[in-house]
Chain A
Amino acid sequence: MSSQPMLEMRGITKRFPGVIANQDVSFDVSAGEVHTLLGENGAGKSTLMKILFGLYQPDEGEVIWQGAPTTITSPSEAIDAGIGMVHQHFMLVPTLTVAENVALGLASGRRPLTDLGAVSDRIREISEQHGLAVDPSVEVWRLSVGERQRVEIMKALYRDARLLVLDEPTAVLTPQEVDDLFVILRRMTSEGRGLIFISHKLHEVMALSDRITVLRNGRVTGQTVPAESSREQLAEMMVGRAVKLTPDRPDVTRGAARLKVNQLSVQGDRGTLAVENVSFDVFGGEILGIAGVSGNGQREIAEAVAGLRSPVSGSQILFDDENVANLNTKQRRARGLAYVPEERMKDGAVGDFSVSENLILVDHGTDAFTSSSGLFKFDAIKRHCSELVERFAVKTPTIDTQTSNLSGGNIQKVIMARELTAEPTVLIASQPTRGVDIGSAEYIHSQLIAQRARGTATLLISEDLDEVLGLSDRIAVMFDGQIIAIVDADDATREGIGLLMAGVVEPTG
């Protein structure tokens, strides 16, 4: 079993009307190995995994499991065979306990009664063995995101999965939780399980993988090991051209302070202070990056500056020296605010609206788009939107396509196009490239840099430390509702910022 791969997918081809989703894809996983499947959205990763779980049948090629050609026709067959999946979106019932969630769908040893005692014992056993630290008696809703993910892993281990597919497992985790997860995953491979890791975070891929297979447009474009590769090479294999992972930042003379935040305190959703007495300035032609583990007040700062969340009285927010703290979002937008929200499908775009409707979501009432008779000027709207779609390289069949049908990267480009055409004085960009493909991310970064050259004051909030380090002129680190340090980007290191993010202010050593 050690010499022969645990799973082999040989020459898999899957066609859909008009599209070849997988073309002659070969992929194998050995016991004790982490094999990463890397590729942009739509590269064919999900199709390949759906074939593995029996949701699709391949048109050509075969699946060899534990040495024998196998036809899997449903996910439950895959699970029975020992193939498990940890989905990006957790499949847990929040009101049930961990033990109940794990036992869900399994036959009880004492039918028709449940046998949760035995299940709990086994969970504790597995938990100890793998360092999962999962308490079977706790209701799932009480758990953090990282803990919920460990419950998902527990579910697979409880069913004795020999091969585990992890679909973008780090997307929702903090850097600390990612480190913890990798320790757990390593422990699983050390006892002979195989892992398929699906991700597009390149430094995580480099850190965790034994082997990496890159897919593009349904084909395998390369197979490599971390030692012989680099992030840039992987990105090139994914995108099909050289990609700048770190954008060039030309020298820009810093202007006056265009956004001033003085003693800002904001309540969070739970009614406690999420932001406490925070002050900072953002200058024209500057990108101020805010780094920090999510949930430390970044969202509340963004919403307060955007006028979506009222600050505690006494807080001051100034755009070009005008106090806007008492103005609503519309009035602030009229004074040059642009806002790219963190949750693009919730706050950034109306999913059921067409691309063109989303592009005019802010400016629909202006004379440019509404005639004196009060009706829309559809010609002008169409011209404007077509131009934006072209300028921002939004991949969409038409401008009338429903926005929710676009990929995450393209939806983000639609939002950026809308927000940046207004030529903002203050730009808030929250998680501008989270979940966005590399090509789009590169483009979005170049647009942020272009805004910087224009003299916009940009507040960049991101959990992606590479992004903050690569784009910012200065970096403010948030911890527990406060800015605990603002450092010059030229002096900042990954490690230094990482320590500050964990709340360590004293210089170590």
Chain B
Amino acid sequence: MKRFLGASIPLLAAGIAFLFGAIMLLAIGASPWEGLKALLDGAFGSWDRLAATAIKATPLILVGAGITIAFRTSVVNIGGEGQIVAGALLSTSVALAVPDLPGILLVPVVLIAGLVGGAIVGAIPGALKAYASVNEILSTIMLNIVMVQLMNYLLRGPLIDPREVEAGTRIPQTERLSDNASLPNIVPGVRLHLGVLVAVLAAVAVYILLWRTPLGFRLRAVGHSPDAARAAGINVKANITMALSMSGSLGGLAGAILVFGSEGQRMVTDGSSTGFTGSAGFNGIVAALFGGLHPLWTIPSSFLFGALLTGATNLQRVLQVPAPIAIAINGIVVVFVVSSGRIREKLDRMLDARSELDGPSGDDTATAKGASA
């Protein structure tokens, strides 16, 4: 009963969100039916479009899987944007430093550089929270801003393409990075690169980490009850730092994949973080929540959001609706999905309360809690 409800509520939320989207399309005189068709066609209509959906989903899977690590440890990570940028910057720098390494080496090296960059930027708010009680919501958001400015500085200065300086155009971008670092396609003829596979494997690895290893066990213990964990001899502070660092590392990996999976094969900034990340650092949180903070469910959840992103582009093109409409539909889905989490919690609690009343075990739990109070 509970499991069934848990699965159906996000879907219901998505359905209601689409209904709202339909009303909006009607209001501007477009056909909602055509709109839905354009959306689906755009997301799944051809192999290339399917691949585009998967590519859009990739950073969401990674950030989302990272978010599950943090949230399962009861720390919040809103720093996905900054961590993506950090991973991208470090992996870009590495690729610029050793461009001649063969691909078989350089691809793993830049991916690891991405992991490390994200891990560093994640560890900072983690350590601040663990050892100085700094609220991690604030510090991760602040670091987003810091990282964007660092990116803008580096791409305008030290890392700028020398040709931009020569030509005087000074577009803030790196030179074209070594092709050896370019992520290879996994299906010949389709633009579906290795990053998608890496992301899915990373999500599976997070699942194994959290539920099959002592480290994940400690993280979850700290997340549920820091006091009991501490009394059992678990280092709560180190685990909090570790959780945010690992969470950040997956964001950093997403950043490296964004750079080396892109067609331009270089890092460009338009001055904002979303210009580079496409808001994956935030959308990944939504994907993780939609997936019930379970790393494996984050995979289909991210594909759904990836589909929305690619589908919306097509919707805009086919129906000639203004871009804000497509963005608004996305936003509505997000609002409904996120609030569905709350609704599900409430329903869970109601069901729990009922099962507690249904029988004398209610006495037991009440007294058990009483004894601990």
Binding site for B on A (CB under 8 A): 16-19, 21, 41-47, 88-89, 168, 171-172, 218, 306, 308, 328-330, 332-333, 339, 341, 343-353, 357, 360-362, 364-365, 369-370, 374-376, 404-408, 411, 434-436
Query: Would you give the shortest CB distance from A362 to chain B, in whole angstroms?
Result: 5
Across the interface, name the chain B residue whose C-beta is closest to A15. B359
Residues of the B chain whose Cβ atoms lie less than 8 Å from the Cβ of A357: 217, 221
Query: Would you give the shortest CB distance from B231 to chain A, in whole angstroms?
Result: 5
Contact code string B214-252 (vs A, CB < 8 Å = 1, else 0): 100110110011011111111100000000000000000
Residues of the B chain whose Cβ atoms lie less than 8 Å from the Cβ of A16: 358-360
Contact code string B59-79 (vs A, CB < 8 Å = 1, else 0): 000000000000000000000
- In addition to A350-B228, A360-B217, A408-B368, 12 A-B residue pairs with Cβ atoms within 8 Å of each other are A330-B234, A349-B225, A349-B228, A350-B224, A350-B229, A351-B224, A351-B225, A357-B221, A362-B232, A364-B218, A408-B372, A411-B368
Query: Would you give the shortest CB distance from B161 to chain A, in whole angstroms?
Result: 43
Query: Would you give the shortest CB distance from A385 to chain B, in whole angstroms?
Result: 14
Residues of the A chain whose Cβ atoms lie less than 8 Å from the Cβ of B371: 171, 344-345, 408, 434-436
Residues of the B chain whose Cβ atoms lie less than 8 Å from the Cβ of A88: 370
CA distance A360 to B371 in the complex (A): 23
Residues of the A chain whose Cβ atoms lie less than 8 Å from the Cβ of B234: 330, 361
Residues of the B chain whose Cβ atoms lie less than 8 Å from the Cβ of A436: 371
| Residues of B within 8 A of A (CB-CB), count | 35
Top 10 nearest A-B pairs by Cβ distance?
Answer: A435-B371, A345-B372, A330-B233, A407-B364, A408-B368, A408-B371, A16-B359, A46-B363, A365-B214, A350-B225
Within 8 A of A (CB), among B320-370: 358-370
Binding site for A on B (CB under 8 A): 208, 212-214, 217-218, 220-221, 224-225, 227-235, 358-373
Residues of the B chain whose Cβ atoms lie less than 8 Å from the Cβ of A42: 360-361, 363-364
Query: Would you give the shortest CB distance from B58 to chain A, in whole angstroms?
Result: 27
Query: Would you give the shortest CB distance from B49 to chain A, in whole angstroms?
Result: 39
**Interface contact A168-B366, CB-CB below 8 Å:** no
Contact of B233 among A341, A362, A407 (CB under 8 A): A362
**Interface contact A330-B235, CB-CB below 8 Å:** yes
Residues of the A chain whose Cβ atoms lie less than 8 Å from the Cβ of B373: 89, 172
CA distance A406 to B364 in the complex (A): 7
**Interface contact A375-B213, CB-CB below 8 Å:** yes
CA distance A434 to B113 in the complex (A): 54
Contact of B366 among A46, A333, A339, A343 (CB under 8 A): A46
**Interface contact B368-A407, CB-CB below 8 Å:** yes
Contact of A346 among B217, B227, B360, B368 (CB under 8 A): B227
Given contacts A329-B230, A411-B368, contact A361 B221 (CB under 8 A): yes
Residues of the B chain whose Cβ atoms lie less than 8 Å from the Cβ of A47: 360, 363
Q: What are 8 pairs between A and B in contact, CB < 8 Å? A: A44-B360, A329-B231, A350-B229, A376-B212, A408-B371, A435-B367, A435-B370, A436-B371
Residues of the B chain whose Cβ atoms lie less than 8 Å from the Cβ of A351: 224-225
Residues of the A chain whose Cβ atoms lie less than 8 Å from the Cβ of B358: 16-17
**Interface contact B370-A21, CB-CB below 8 Å:** no
Contact of B370 among A168, A306, A348, A370 (CB under 8 A): A168
**Interface contact B228-A361, CB-CB below 8 Å:** yes
CA distance A352 to B362 in the complex (A): 17
Residues of the B chain whose Cβ atoms lie less than 8 Å from the Cβ of A306: 231
**Interface contact B228-A346, CB-CB below 8 Å:** yes
Contact of B214 among A171, A341, A350, A376 (CB under 8 A): A376
**Interface contact A19-B231, CB-CB below 8 Å:** no
CA distance A11 to B367 in the complex (A): 25
**Interface contact A353-B221, CB-CB below 8 Å:** yes
Query: Would you give the shortest CB distance from A199 to chain B, in whole angstroms?
Result: 12
Query: Would you give the shortest CB distance from B293 to chain A, in whole angstroms?
Result: 13
Residues of the B chain whose Cβ atoms lie less than 8 Å from the Cβ of A360: 217
**Interface contact B360-A21, CB-CB below 8 Å:** yes
**Interface contact B362-A46, CB-CB below 8 Å:** yes
Across the interface, name the chain B residue whose C-beta is closest to A333. B233
Query: Would you give the shortest CB distance from B357 to chain A, in whole angstroms?
Result: 8
Query: Would you give the shortest CB distance from B18 to chain A, in whole angstroms?
Result: 34
Given contacts A19-B359, A308-B230, A351-B225, contact A364 B217 (CB under 8 A): yes
Across the interface, name the chain B residue whose C-beta is closest to A375. B212
CA distance A114 to B158 in the complex (A): 70
Query: Would you give the shortest CB distance from A347 to chain B, in whole angstroms?
Result: 5
Residues of the B chain whose Cβ atoms lie less than 8 Å from the Cβ of A349: 225, 228
Across the interface, name the chain B residue whose C-beta is closest to A437. B367
CA distance A357 to B369 in the complex (A): 19
